[in-house]
């Protein structure tokens, strides 16, 4: 009982870290993906300045999620990262490129446009590769033995990951778009958000349809349904509150949170589900570290999340007017 | 076998190039805290100008460290999956806490250092500088603890074919954590001190920013001396710890193949592992025995007493270890001359010394790398000493072409990051500190 409790808490904790990443670095990535649509390099520069004090701290949520997965679910960490070798390497390369390019665009004004383009490319790379990987996990992995995945690429290909990636990318762009409304609540930006919104609705509908077709068993779970409803509500409420500073962004965060509830509930009690019923899935029980690791991880994690939110909140207050 | 070598090379290249950044970060944050403290206590604009300049450098170095560091924990899952699955409950538990304590703190407050000088009061700015210093050093502590656990594992048991923590405290504060941390941190401070001293000397030699350069030199040179002198002392205690817990490694470091009473401390030599001798050995007789036990005639255990298959590659680690010590002696000499010049009030006018100092900047970087090469290759054939062999730790499912592709890609990208950082730093230095100081 105790063991199962801490296994579940560890799983939830990692989902919370990933959720924080998708909300916070989500807006950095979203703003990065909006860069190609800036009308000139000054507007792109303004967009970059909205995220430059934050992206690095926001990225830490992903590292934290990875670290906790390493500790709490070593079997998942080892199997997933080694089986997705090239996608993970490309993902890291994109993350590296995004961060460096954002920073270098200040240090190398002569090539500012190039760095802005690289930052945009990195943002697209991180978002697309991350979502494709997550979608492939949700779809189920081609286990061929205990703790062993197929080496054949075609065994991983499916429709769900592609739909999930498409819809998710639109969500991340929306996260960035609504964030820019906090920093620059001008009519121009609001008009742009209004133009994008129908795509977000379409993405939400696509996502729900994909879930219904490919992962129907998930929709029998109350938390998954709640997540789906929250996600939809966030999208609608965001449109209704576009003119009110900040609100659309907070509602976009609600959508993200709902999406993560849907994801977590769909996986649970597996961490890495098998694509075809085989009993080979890595479950909370089979993949988790012993209690002696889970206990301190859960305690440290849940104690420190509010502490980090407090001091991160302080830095957001300091930069509430943006940077030059 | 090829797969194993490729993964080892990839880890070596990435950690070796990554390491250049965090040691610079540790060194720079020390100086930023010093000059911010001087600024808020003495209210002298020059101190602030120095801090502004150092913060600009830190911005570049920090982001390079983040960029090159991202891969490090992930590579344990990608390339060392058998190790991850076997030991994640311990090593992962250290890295997870590093992320949530140190990375989070450092990254939040470095934003205030880089972008917030006009947004917060000098006092809050000072607190932010201190928190970045603490965050960076905390991060150093956790990662050194993780590495030390590999060298001298403690606080664990083997359960169902994998490791389980029996004591988080013992795992964290294993036999080598604290001494290694002290050695590593003071080495980073030495790196930072010679870096900023070299830059200040560059200005002073050309009579640019004279006041700025003088102030920076007068703080950096004494710190360089203290940190340089700390190395042989901490190194001595560290090697005693190695002797106790990794005796084969110690024998290889010191070049003792055959057990001997009254062993000499070698300063130079060309090791020949095959014939088990050190050619052209130069050293002080009896000194190794004296240092290791306090008795000049005591017996020192040679490599011959250990099974051949548990020997670390003695040629490599004897050489890197002794080159590191050679560099250490050189750095002590450089810093000592500087302090003597300072004491005789000639530091900013001794042109030969000012022209020499910038060329000393690479020395601590080399020494840091050599020290770690010795520590890591010296742990072979083990990944976790006495528990898991490196050859049993790598991922078995990765094809050679993928490993080759990433090795080349990582080498190129990491080298590019190092070069670009160097170019931007150089540009920053040539442009000089702000305003007219």
Give the pLDDT of residue B214.
Answer: 93
Quick check: A103 and B109 CB within 8 A?
no
- Alpha carbons A245 and A253: distance in angstroms, whole number: 14
Quick check: B78 and A296 CB within 8 A?
no
Per mean pLDDT, which range of A228-242, A286-300, B270-284 is the poorest? B270-284
Write out the two tokens for B208. Answer: 């640019």
Q: Give domain limits for chain A.
A: 2-316
Q: pLDDT at residue A324 above 70?
A: no
Quick check: A107 and B60 CB within 8 A?
yes
Touching B: A residues 140-169, CB under 8 Å: 147-148, 151
- Alpha carbons B236 and B257: distance in angstroms, whole number: 20
Contact indicator for B4, B82 with CB cutoff of 8 Å: no
Q: Does A48 touch chain B (CB under 8 A)?
A: no
Give the pLDDT of residue B84.
Answer: 97
Quick check: A297 and B93 CB within 8 A?
yes
For residue B403, what are the CA distances in angstroms to A57, B71, B398? 31, 14, 7
Give the pLDDT of residue A41.
Answer: 84
For residue B150, what are the CA distances in angstroms to A72, B109, B378, B384? 19, 31, 12, 4
Minimal-distance CA residue of chain A relative to B89? A71
Pick from A81, A101, A291, A308 the residue to mutate for testing the B interface (most B CBs within 10 Å).
A81
- Alpha carbons B240 and B254: distance in angstroms, whole number: 12
Q: pLDDT at residue A1 above 70?
A: no
Quick check: A319 and B95 CB within 8 A?
no
- What CATH number was assigned to the domain covering residues A2-316? 1.20.1630
Complex-level ipTM: 0.94
Q: Considering chain A, what is the average pLDDT of its residues? A: 94
Quick check: B85 and A78 CB within 8 A?
yes
Widest CA span in chain B: 68
Pick from A78, A144, A306 the residue to mutate for testing the B interface (most B CBs within 10 Å).
A78
List, as one string, the DSSP characters of A89-107.
HHHHHHHHHHHHHHHHHHH
CA nearest neighbour of B165 among B155, B174, B152, B150: B155
- Alpha carbons A306 and A319: distance in angstroms, whole number: 20
- Alpha carbons B254 and B314: distance in angstroms, whole number: 9
Quick check: A67 and B88 CB within 8 A?
no
List of chain A residues whose C-beta atoms are within 8 Å of the C-beta of residue B104: 57, 60, 64, 304, 308, 312
- Alpha carbons A178 and A249: distance in angstroms, whole number: 5
Give the pLDDT of residue A14.
Answer: 97
DSSP A145: E
Quick check: A57 and B108 CB within 8 A?
yes
Minimal-distance CA residue of chain A relative to B155? A292
Contact indicator for A256, A26 with CB cutoff of 8 Å: yes
How near does any CA of chain B get to the CA of A290, in Å? Answer: 6
More confident residue, B63 or A244: B63
What is the per-residue pLDDT across A163-217, written as a single tens digit (0 to 9) for each? 999 999 999 999 999 999 998 888 888 999 999 999 999 999 999 999 999 999 9
What is the per-residue pLDDT across A30-47, written as a single tens digit (0 to 9) for each? 999 999 999 888 899 999
Query: Is residue B19 classed exposed, middle or buried when 0-12, 13-18 and 19+ CB atoms within 10 A define those classes?
Result: buried
Q: Which residues contact A185 (CB under 8 A, 6 or more apart)?
A: A245
Instruction: Report the Cα–Cα distance between both ends of chain A, in Å, rounded.
Output: 54
Contact indicator for B310, B381 with CB cutoff of 8 Å: yes
Determine if the peptide bond prior to B381 is cis (ω within 30°): yes
Per-residue pLDDT of chain B (437 residues; tens, 9 = 90+): 689 999 999 999 999 999 999 999 999 999 999 999 999 999 888 899 999 999 999 999 999 999 999 999 999 999 999 999 999 999 999 999 999 999 999 999 999 999 999 999 999 999 999 999 999 999 999 999 999 999 999 999 999 899 999 999 999 999 999 999 999 999 999 999 999 999 999 999 998 998 999 999 999 999 999 999 999 999 999 999 999 999 999 999 999 999 999 999 998 899 998 889 899 889 899 999 999 888 999 999 999 999 999 999 999 999 999 999 999 999 999 999 999 999 999 999 999 999 999 999 999 999 999 999 999 999 999 999 999 999 999 999 999 999 999 999 999 999 999 999 999 999 999 998 876 55
Helix, strand, coil shares of chain B, percent, nearest 5, are 75, 10, 20
Give the pLDDT of residue A269.
Answer: 92
The partner residue sitting opposite A63, judged by closest CB among B60, B99, B115, is: B99
Touching B: A residues 79-138, CB under 8 Å: 79-83, 85-86, 88-89, 92-93, 95-96, 99-100, 103-104, 107-108
Minimal-distance CA residue of chain B relative to A324? B115
The partner residue sitting opposite A81, judged by closest CB among B74, B104, B166, is: B74
């Amino acid at each position: 009982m105790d063991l199962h409790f801490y296994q579940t808490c560890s799983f939830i904790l990692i989902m919370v870290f990933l959720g924080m990443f998708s909300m916070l670095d989500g807006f950095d990535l979203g703003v990065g993906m909006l860069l190609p649509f800036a009308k000139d390099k000054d507007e792109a520069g303004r967009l970059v300045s909205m995220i430059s004090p934050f992206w690095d701290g926001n990225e830490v949520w992903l590292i934290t999620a990875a670290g906790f997965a390493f500790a709490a679910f070593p079997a998942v960490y080892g199997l997933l990262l080694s089986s997705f070798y090239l996608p993970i390497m490309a993902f890291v390369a994109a993350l590296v490129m995004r961060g460096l390019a954002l920073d270098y665009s200040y240090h190398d004004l002569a090539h500012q446009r190039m760095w802005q383009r690289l930052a945009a490319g990195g943002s697209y790379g991180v978002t697309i590769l991350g979502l494709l990987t997550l979608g492939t996990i949700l779809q189920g992995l081609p286990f061929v033995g205990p703790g062993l995945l197929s080496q054949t690429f075609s065994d991983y290909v499916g429709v769900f990951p592609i739909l999930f990636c498409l819809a998710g990318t639109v969500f991340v762009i929306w996260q960035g778009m609504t964030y820019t409304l906090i920093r620059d609540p001008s009519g121009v930006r609001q008009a742009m958000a209004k133009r994008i919104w129908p795509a977000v609705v379409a993405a939400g509908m696509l996502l729900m349809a994909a879930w219904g077709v490919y992962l129907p068993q998930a929709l029998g779970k109350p938390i998954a349904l709640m997540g789906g409803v929250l996600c939809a509500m966030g999208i609608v409420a965001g449109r209704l509150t576009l003119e009110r500073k900040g609100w659309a962004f907070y509602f976009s965060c609600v959508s993200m949170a709902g999406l993560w509830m849907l994801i977590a509930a769909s996986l649970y009690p597996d961490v890495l589900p098998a694509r075809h019923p085989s009993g080979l899935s890595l479950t909370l029980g089979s993949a988790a570290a012993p209690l002696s690791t889970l206990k301190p991880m859960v305690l440290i994690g849940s104690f420190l999340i509010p502490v980090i939110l407090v001091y991160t909140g302080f830095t957001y207050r300091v930069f509430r007017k943006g940077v030059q | 076998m090829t797969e194993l070598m490729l993964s080892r090379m990839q880890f070596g290249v990435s950690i070796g190039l990554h390491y250049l950044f965090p040691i610079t970060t540790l060194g720079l944050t020390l100086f930023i805290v010093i000059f911010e403290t001087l600024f808020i206590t003495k209210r002298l604009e020059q101190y602030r100008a120095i801090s502004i300049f150092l913060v600009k450098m830190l911005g570049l170095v920090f982001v390079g460290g983040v960029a090159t560091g991202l891969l490090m924990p992930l590579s344990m899952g990608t390339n060392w999956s058998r190790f991850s699955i076997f030991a994640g409950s311990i090593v992962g538990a250290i890295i997870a806490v590093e992320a949530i304590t140190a990375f989070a703190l450092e990254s939040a407050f470095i934003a205030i250092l880089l972008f917030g000088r006009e947004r917060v009061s000098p006092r809050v700015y000072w607190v932010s500088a201190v928190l970045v210093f603490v965050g960076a050093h905390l991060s150093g502590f956790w990662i050194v603890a993780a590495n030390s656990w590999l060298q001298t594992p403690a606080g664990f048991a083997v359960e169902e074919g994998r490791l389980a923590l029996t004591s988080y405290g013992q795992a964290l504060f294993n036999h080598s954590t604290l001494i290694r941390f002290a050695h590593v941190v003071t080495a980073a401070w030495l790196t930072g001190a010679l870096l900023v001293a070299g830059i200040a000397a560059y200005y002073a030699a050309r009579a640019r920013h004279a006041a700025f350069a003088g102030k920076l030199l007068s703080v950096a040179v004494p710190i360089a001396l203290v940190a340089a002198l700390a190395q042989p002392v901490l190194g001595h205690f560290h090697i005693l710890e190695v002797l106790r817990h990794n005796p084969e490694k110690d024998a290889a470091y010191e070049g003792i193949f055959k057990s001997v009473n009254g062993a000499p401390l070698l300063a130079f030599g060309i090791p020949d592992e095959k014939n088990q001798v050190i050619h052209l050995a130069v050293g002080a007789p009896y000194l190794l025995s004296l240092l290791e036990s306090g008795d000049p005639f005591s017996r020192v255990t040679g490599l011959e007493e250990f099974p051949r298959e548990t020997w670390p590659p003695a040629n490599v680690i004897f050489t890197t270890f002794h080159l590191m010590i050679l560099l250490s002696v050189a750095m002590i000499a450089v810093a000592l001359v500087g302090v003597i010049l300072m004491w005789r009030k000639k530091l900013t006018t001794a042109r030969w010394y000012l022209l020499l100092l910038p060329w000393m900047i690479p020395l601590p970087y080399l020494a840091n790398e050599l020290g770690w090469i010795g520590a890591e290759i010296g742990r072979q054939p083990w990944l976790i000493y006495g528990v898991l062999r490196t050859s049993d730790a790598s991922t078995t499912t990765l094809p050679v072409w993928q490993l080759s592709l990433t090795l080349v890609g990582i080498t190129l990208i990491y080298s590019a990051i190092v070069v670009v950082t160097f170019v931007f730093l150089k540009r920053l230095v040539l442009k000089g500190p702000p305003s007219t100081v």
